[in-house]
Structure 1
Amino acid sequence: MRNVVIGFLGTQLDMGKRRRWRPTVDLCRTEGFPVDRLELIHDHKFNRLAHSVKRDIEEASPETEVLLHRMDMDDPWDLEEVYTKLFDFASDYGFDEDRERYHIHLTTGTHVGQICWFLLSESRHIPAALIQTGPPRGGDDVGTFDLIDLDLSRYDALQQRFDQQTREYGDLLKGGIKTRNVAYNRLIDRIEQVAGLSDAPILLQGESGTGKSELAQRIYELKLQRRRVKGRLVHVNCATLRGGTANATLFGQRRSFTGQAGTERAGLLREADGGVLFLDEIDALGLEEQALLLHAIEAGQYYPLGSDAEVTSRFQVIAGASGDLSAMVSEGVFRIDLLTRLNLWTFHLPALRDRPEDFEVNLRHELAQAEKTLGIRVGFNSDASEAWLRFASAPGTLWPGNFRDFSGAILRLCTLAPRGRITRAQVVDEIATLERRWRAADTDQNSQLVAKYVNGPVDPFDIPQLANVLHTCQTSATISEAGRRLFAVSREDRKSRNDADRLRKYLAKFDLSWAELNDG
């Protein structure tokens, strides 16, 4: 294949006044590296020198074809101008990699030109290796010649180092837990890629207890390592922002607003300047706060409470939500413009029950955490470990609290373990405790939902069924849709399939109507 070299004319070095070494001419005489074609770029002010260098190359290396390219620069130290003109040159060139090998001569030209050559080569806009030449050393007659190929796939050691670093970043995001769930590992790989390259907001969605807060902390640590942020991580629990103090907590307030000493506040957004603002449970934030927050995120400026002057705070955003934000937009309780701003990168964290492969590794992790907390060594008896993992991964074990339930259970087992060994009897007791708590919580939620709509007592037998009906009505667009969902099985055995009428009659037993539920 033919060797093609592209480079700038050396307006000082190629004159050869200071020393006999002329980099462009000597490059074409390099032993073992024949230059079949030289593309020499020059400004019109150095047209005479360019033709002189061309003649000298043709005399010293007759087999080298020299093509001169005039490229006038208003300011050769202006990065934008130089890059634009070299980019246009590359776009119009017509590279033929099947027949020619391309190289860029870095030795000549300004430092700005060298930076632009590097960027164009690294991005493969110019599919070329880099050449750096130097004057002869000591008593040598031949100058130095170094070839640098930026195609990292050709450097096994470098590629292995990058792969290792990627694994380290993934381990950081997973908290050092060697997870086995394919979908979760793929999710972490995507988050690592986005967090390391983008400053755009990240939205973490998932059930309560799936680890959104812990993952946000690790994303921040990754950004810190990758030098994408310098400031701190500020954790905001949006569920606690209620009433008149919400705006002051977020945006701060001036002392003059109340006239009382000690009432001035910097605000959480100011504390997040240069760092990351983690908006935990953002689905619990009020509409007024949502509007103010959107402006602060987009503009990087906002007004503290009682202030006539805007404050500037630049921060990256991670938001966490347990609820369905799209459904909340439809219900009018979440702003669509804020959701649009947040969901450029949305990641759905799977529930614990959807990661059965990871129960064993998470068990080891929680044991280690419990040992640090308690300051003792704890282990499972083999039959106890089998019983626990069988229960944990069973299809009927839903883990409604996800990792909060799981880690709490392990901590209780470790605390009560006789002589540092968890027994099967303990596991049986803990399983009974969890199931009892889950039933109570489920019953309590159903009772609260029924009490919201029904005045008067309801038989305990009817509460779970009525709660299911109410929930279905709340999440259906029409009464017909709700009826189809509720009577999907029994309707097949009926001659009349008027599901809406059946639902109306059921609701009437409790003095309820579709309109009442739909408005609520």
Structure 2
Amino acid sequence: MIGFLGTSLDAGGGAGRWEKWRPTVSLGMFEDLWVDRIELLLDERRFGNLLKQVSADLAAQSPHTEVVSRDVYLQDPWDFEAVYSVLHDFVRAYPFDPEREDYLVHITTGTHVAQICWFLLTEARFMPGRLLQTSPPRKQQAGDPGSFSIIDLDLARYDRIARRFADERLETAQFLKSGIQTRSPAFNRMIDQIERVAVRSKAPILLMGPTGAGKSMLARNLFELKQQRHDLAGRFVEVNCATLRGDGAGSALFGHVKGAYTGAQNERVGHLKSADGGLLFLDEIGELGLDEQAMLLRAIEDKRFLPLGGDREVSSEFQLLAGTNRDLGDAVAQGRFREDLYARLNLWTFYLPGLKERSEDIEPNLDFELERHARLQGERVGFNREARQTYLRFATCAEAIWPGNFRDLGASVTRMATLAESGRITVENVQEEIGRLRRLWAPQLGARESMPGQDLLQSVLGEAVAELDRFDQVQLAEVLRVCAECRSLSEAGRRLFSASRERKRSSNDADRLRKYLARFDLDFEAVHARA
């Protein structure tokens, strides 16, 4: 039981004090209310003697009840903002353990303002408990504790508290982005949506995006957020489904009984049971086999499943987060993923873009990785000005494809920081790293260069291709591809300029194309012949 010491209602001395109703003392007198511990909030400097008297009287009525005092100072107990701030801070710091304890909030003592604040904190689940109201007996007599009731009120909203909650949501969103540095408005909006879903819903959440985009980090942040809010009491269990194969997949997820298959010498619990009461993150869920998908669907819907080789069901109440770098819709169409499971997962789907799609986030993550290196290695390393500019120019250009996304960026910064002399990353360090990245990415860049039109561009211009900006290379390659497919300059012009032609009364598409090719000393006949 948590509540204020009633500085007026609980007061009383001498034998006559037992003739009056004192709400805190009455908590130890109800036959059908067993209270193990009472935590009393009070200003101990002013009301220390009253606390001693109430504690002694409680001990006389209920020897098993422990009384714990919590020293708080309220300059004005009728100041709404001041009282809320004190109670909010108290609740946020309190070591709640709802798995082992049930909590009641005694709202009879304290001002009406304090009661409203208790209501708001409990309704918002910062206080993981219920409200309890005690009342005096109709006819005052010694030994009558009165009555109590557990209540549930429809709470009003207050502008000042609403702003406080808005600040809390902003703090929550920042918490979700811990380790994910971003300047992207679209990414920030997505994080805000994920925060609202995580707080209000227990339905599965699907995180899509390329490897290294931050799905695992976001999943762990979501768990820690829900744990802080006392929404989850269990563990965070992360499973990479790409590592599960054959009988081992079912055993790892659902457990097995002894003798379920050859080599199953002991019983195994499985990840789903380990996540009971907590959060299960199945990364790369698209790699699961169809049999495991069917078993997982039942476990999500019924909260029950059969271990391999078992005939007795196991229950597990977990929230599911799933991650994938595949398009599960395509996998459903190809028969590699169950449509019913996809429908169950697809209620809340969020796409985490890769680093290439968030070039504005490269610079803040550069600083984040340097800070992380400093924490891990105990040595602070930084760029000199020219080196930083050189690295950022390359990191945000078209050639920097970042196939491993933020993992690639983290590895790149670690290499430069490790090789830097005297704590400074120089232009020479950056140029060496750029060469290293180009070599690492050569297979992917080669595959990209083999797009239609690229070979023709190389054939027509030869070494002169290297003198063109990347923008011109991409545009010219597409123009050459269209020229190769068309029988005449006019046909190619009509295909290339169809949209702009619709907005003009007359046009000469062939002349426009001829002039464009002439910029590169090319003509249609030569291009067509080379193709």
Which residue of 1 is the match for residue 388 of structure 2?
A: 385
2:420 aligned to which of 413, 417, 420: 417
CA distance in 2, matches of 1:154, 1:183: 28
User: What letter corresponds to residue 207 of structure 1 in structure 2?
Assistant: P
TM-score using structure 2 length: 0.56
1:350 aligned to which of 353, 376, 387: 353
- C-alpha change, 1:201 and 1:493, in structure 2 (3 Å) is farther
- SS of the counterpart of 2:286? helix
1:332 aligned to which of 326, 330, 335: 335
For 1:222-246, what per-residue CA distance to the aligned partner results, in whole angstroms no more than 9, with x for missing partners? Answer: 1111222110111111001111211
Equivalent positions of 1:39-438 (< 5 A) are 151-155=156-160, 158-175=161-178, 179-258=182-261, 262-438=265-441
User: What is the RMSD computed on CA atoms of the aligned residues?
Assistant: 3.9
CA distance in 2, matches of 1:446, 1:283: 29
- SS of the counterpart of 1:418? coil
- SS of the counterpart of 2:238? strand
CA distance in 2, matches of 1:334, 1:281: 12
CA distance in 1, matches of 2:439, 2:290: 37
Q: Is the 8 A contact 2:257 2:264 kept in 1?
A: no
CA distance in 2, matches of 1:261, 1:399: 43
Which residue of 2 is the match for residue 73 of structure 1?
A: none
- C-alpha change, 1:160 and 1:177, in structure 2 (3 Å) is farther
- SS of the counterpart of 2:210? coil
User: What letter corresponds to residue 319 of structure 1 in structure 2?
Assistant: A
Q: CA deviation at 1:363?
A: 0.9
CA distance in 2, matches of 1:207, 1:489: 35
User: What letter corresponds to residue 370 of structure 1 in structure 2?
Assistant: H
For 1:256-310, what per-residue CA distance to the aligned partner results, in whole angstroms no more than 9, with x for missing partners? Answer: 4358785321111110111111010011111111111111111111111111111
Q: CA deviation at 1:330?
A: 0.8
Q: CA deviation at 1:350?
A: 1.3
- C-alpha change, 1:487 and 1:282, in structure 2 (3 Å) is farther
Equivalenced residues, count: 333
Q: CA deviation at 1:328?
A: 0.9
CA distance in 1, matches of 2:220, 2:483: 46
CA distance in 2, matches of 1:444, 1:394: 18
Shift >4 Å, 4+ stretches: 148-151, 258-262, 441-447, 486-490, 492-497
- C-alpha change, 1:421 and 1:150, in structure 2 (3 Å) is same
Once structures 1 and 2 are overlaid, which stretch shifts more, 438-447 or 308-317? 438-447
- SS of the counterpart of 1:248? helix
Unmatched 5+ stretches in structure 2: 1-19, 21-106, 109-114, 125-132, 137-152, 460-479, 493-531
CA distance in 2, matches of 1:287, 1:172: 36
For 1:443-498, what per-residue CA distance to the aligned partner results, in whole angstroms no more than 9, with x for missing partners? Answer: 58999xxxxxxxxxxxxx89x99xxxxxxxxxxxxxxxxxxxx976644546999x
Percent sequence identity is: 48
User: What letter corresponds to residue 298 of structure 2 in structure 1?
Assistant: H
Q: CA deviation at 1:441?
A: 4.5
- SS of the counterpart of 2:422? helix
User: What letter corresponds to residue 243 of structure 1 in structure 2?
Assistant: G
Q: Is the 8 A contact 2:181 2:368 kept in 1?
A: no
User: What letter corresponds to residue 265 of structure 1 in structure 2?
Assistant: R
CA distance in 2, matches of 1:496, 1:395: 31
User: What letter corresponds to residue 319 of structure 2 in structure 1?
Assistant: Q
